[in-house]
Amino acid sequence: MQDNFLSGEELKRYTRQIILEEIGYDGQQKLKAAKVLVVGAGGLGCPVLQYLSAAGVGTIGIVDFDTVDISNMHRQTLYTTNDIGKKKTVVAEKRLKELNPENHLAIFDLLLNENNCEDILKDFDIVVDGSDNFLTRYLVNDTCVKLKKPLVYGSILKFEGQLTVFNYRGSKNLRDLFPDSPNPEDVPNCNENGVMGTLPAIIGSMMAHETLKLILGLEVLANRMIIFDSLQMKMQEINY
C-alpha cells in the first residue's frame, strides 16, 4: 500500500469515511488503489461518477460517445444548460476534476463495440454498467465474464429500478438470468416511455455504493437483485 499513501489533504477530505470501522485508513488506501470503469455517462453514470470520485476511487474510466442534450437536463445533474452540445466525456472530466483533483480519469470518447471492448475493460478492476441498451449490456457482461471482472449492473424505466452485481467470485452473470438479448423493438426504453428524474440518482447512488463495497471487500448483491418501485416506495429482493 506504500504507493497509495494518503496525504494530509486526503486524510481531511475522507475523514468521515476513514473513521468508519469497516473502512479505516487501509480501506481508504484500497479505494485510492482501485481502478473502476463506468460505461455510460448518462442518467445512471452521472451519480456513479460523482460518488466514486468523491469517495476517493483512484482511477476512474469513463466510456461515452454522446453529447449533452436538453432532454438530459432533468436527470443528468453532472451537466448544466451551458453544456448542451458538448461531449459528455469532456464535461464529465472537467466537473469531476473540480469535485476531486486527486483522482486520475481515463477518458474513452467512443462507442463501445466488439473490437474495442476487451482492450478497454482489461485494465480495470471493476466495471459499472450504466448503459441504456441491451447490445452494450450483453457485450459488457460477456467481456467481464471472459476477463473475470465483477460487474455492477443497474437499469431504470419509468418509476422502477433494478440493481445487482454480476460475475463476482463465481456468482451468476446476466446470461444466467436472460440467456439471449431481447429484440430492442420489443423492450420499452426511457426515450419512448420516460423516466422520473430522481430515479437515476437513487439507483446510480446504489450502484456506486455497491462498487465501493466491492473494493472494500464488504458483502454485495451477488446472486441477488434489488427491484425498487419508487411510486410505492417498496423494495423487493430476488435471489437467483
Is the predicted pLDDT of residue 181 greater than 80, yes or no?
no
Average pLDDT of the residues of the chain: 94
Domains and their CATH numbers in the chain: 1-33 (no CATH), 34-239 (3.40.50.720)
**3-state DSSP call for residue 65?**
coil
For 12-16, what is the mean pLDDT?
A: 98
C-alpha cell at 172: 451468476
Q: What is the pLDDT of residue 2?
A: 47
Per-residue pLDDT band for 188 (boundaries 50, 70, 90) equals low
| CA nearest neighbour of 108 among 96, 93, 129 | 93
Residue 42 CB contacts under 8 Å (≥ 6 apart), including other chains:
64, 66, 72, 76, 88, 130, 132, 200
pLDDT tier at 184, thresholds 50, 70, 90: low
Query: Would the CA dihedral through 159, 109, 14, 149 be positive or negative?
Result: positive
**pLDDT tens, position by position, 208-238:** 999 999 999 999 999 999 999 999 999 999 9
Residue 180: what pLDDT?
A: 83
Q: Tens digit of pLDDT for each residue in 38-88? A: 999 999 999 999 999 999 999 999 999 999 999 999 999 999 999 999 999
Please check the confidence at residue 191 and state whether its pLDDT lies above 80.
Answer: no
